Structure 1
Amino acid sequence: MYKTLLIGFVFNFFFFQASFAQKAADSLILKLHLKFGKDDLELGKKYVSTKKDTLQIDVFKFYISNIEIQYSDKKVYNPTNSYHLIDIENSNSLRIPIGYKNNLAIKNVFFNIGIDSTASVSGALEGDLDPTKGMYWAWQSGYINMKIEGKSSSCKTRKNEFQFHIGGYMKPSYAIRKVQLEAKNQEIDVSIDVSEFFSAIKLSKINSIMIPGKEAMELADYSIKMFKTE
């Protein structure tokens, strides 16, 4: 009887593994790769920007929302409840399941950096939109679309800190930006190069943006350049 139970256990184990592997193979996943230039982005590691600022990243979070997949036949797939908080400290957040693969080639991928007005004024929400995630200002200002914090000797601030909290959902301070990426194959691998963000900023002059406004709008424009398909 013991032998029979053991055989049954082994069969069920391998059946589960095979089913899980098949499900993963059939899934369409947006895979994000955080970079600083050619290097992987790591918390606390020293990098040098094109502006010659030596800096380290201590916090890097941002929202991806309203994902759209455009296929070669021009049909578009829109996943429901497409709000995702990406956090460098949570490796699981770097893989976003979108749906099931099909035989059509993917032509383009669209998504927003940030949270739209509907979600911003909906009140207390759950999951990645939970205010306890530290990405919500208040209903007047909405969500922080992107948060980048760290240190640099170029910053003449307390502990040489810089803080960029980019957001705003009401005009004229509408900081949500739409990204369009051309898909290179059936997989969707997206590189997010933070060095592109700092290539537009001299930290001795700009090192703290904490509210919606003109400066946040400009930083939102810079943030688009960070995203590329691999």
Structure 2
Amino acid sequence: MIKKISICFIFSILFFQVTVAQKEKDSLIIDLHLKFGKQDLKLDEKYVSERKDTLQIEVFKFYLSNISIQYVDKSIYNQRDSYHLIDIENQNSLQIPINKMNKRAIEKISFTIGIDSLTSVSGALQGDLDPTKGMYWAWQSGYINMKIEGKSSSCNTRENEFQFHIGGYLKPHYSMRTVILEPRAITSNIAIDVDIATLFSELALSKTNSIMIPGKQAMEIADFSVKMFQIESK
């Protein structure tokens, strides 16, 4: 009897894995590649920015939401009420299944970096919006749209640390930004490079190394962040 139960359990697991694999195969997927220039971005590895700052990344998280796909025939698919926390420490978060595959060519894809104001004031939620993910400001009831932490010898701070917690959902400090990309060729996925070196080319870490609240500096970082995203070049 025990042997039969074990066999049934094994078959159930295998069926579940095959079902998940088939679902992913049939889905259009956004495949994010975290980069520092031409190098893959890795935690605690040293990089040199265009401003000659030597730095290493210890935390890199950001939210993607409001994903929209426009096809060549002008039909549009919108992924509603979905919020994706991208985290360098969670490789599974770098692949986002969107919708069922079809043969229509894609003209453009758009998404927002961050969490909208309505969701921010809805209180603590679940899934990727769970406060335990470390992306919720309890003191001002809002989400951190992007979090970057690390160290650089250019920073005259405690242990040479830098911290950028970019958020804000109220004007004039509304930090959500929209990214629009136009794929050259689409098959079963959309490969997007997220090049954090682009952001650090705009920052002099000796002068700007800590942004922890909504404000003018946070809005500037939010503006820079849009430039990080590019369709992967082959």
Q: 1:141 to 1:172 in 2, by over 3 A?
A: farther
Q: 1:75 to 1:165 in 2, by over 3 A?
A: same
Q: 1:208 to 1:96 in 2, by over 3 A?
A: same
Q: Which residue of 2 aligns with 1:213?
A: 215
Which runs of structure 2 are paired with 1:8-157 in the superposition (5 Å)? 21-138=21-138, 140=140, 142-157=142-157
Larger displacement relative to structure 2 (72-81 or 102-111):
72-81
1:17 shift after superposition: 7.1
Unaligned runs of at least 5 residues, structure 2? 1-7
The sequence identity of aligned pairs, in percent, is 67
Deviations 1:27-86 (A, max 9, x none): 111110000000000000000000000000000000001100111111110123220000
Q: 1:17 to 1:172 in 2, by over 3 A?
A: closer
Instruction: Report the AA paired with residue 168 of structure 1.
Output: G
CA contact (8 A) 2:121 2:141 kept: no
Unaligned runs of at least 5 residues, structure 1? 1-7
Q: 1:16 to 1:164 in 2, by over 3 A?
A: closer
Q: Quote the Cα distance in structure 2 between the aligned partners of 1:26 and 1:43.
A: 32
Q: Secondary structure at the match of 1:31?
A: strand
Instruction: Report the AA paired with residue 98 of structure 1.
Output: I
Q: Secondary structure at the match of 2:24?
A: helix
Instruction: Report the AA paired with residue 162 of structure 1.
Output: F
1:99 shift after superposition: 1.0
Q: Which residue of 1 aligns with 2:5?
A: none
1:22 shift after superposition: 4.0
Aligned length: 223
1:15 shift after superposition: 7.9
1:14 shift after superposition: 8.8
Q: Taking structure 1 as the reference length, what is the TM-score of the superposition?
A: 0.91
Cα RMSD of the aligned pairs, angstroms, is 2.1
CA contact (8 A) 1:59 1:149 kept: yes
1:138 shift after superposition: 3.0
Instruction: Report the AA paired with residue 163 of structure 1.
Output: Q
CA contact (8 A) 1:151 1:159 kept: yes
Instruction: Report the AA paired with residue 120 of structure 2.
Output: S
Q: 1:169 to 1:190 in 2, by over 3 A?
A: same
Q: Taking structure 2 as the reference length, what is the TM-score of the superposition?
A: 0.89
Q: Quote the Cα distance in structure 2 between the aligned partners of 1:86 and 1:117.
A: 19
Q: Secondary structure at the match of 2:65?
A: strand
Q: Secondary structure at the match of 2:112?
A: strand
Q: Secondary structure at the match of 1:140?
A: coil
Q: Quote the Cα distance in structure 2 between the aligned partners of 1:176 and 1:129.
A: 16
1:124 shift after superposition: 1.6
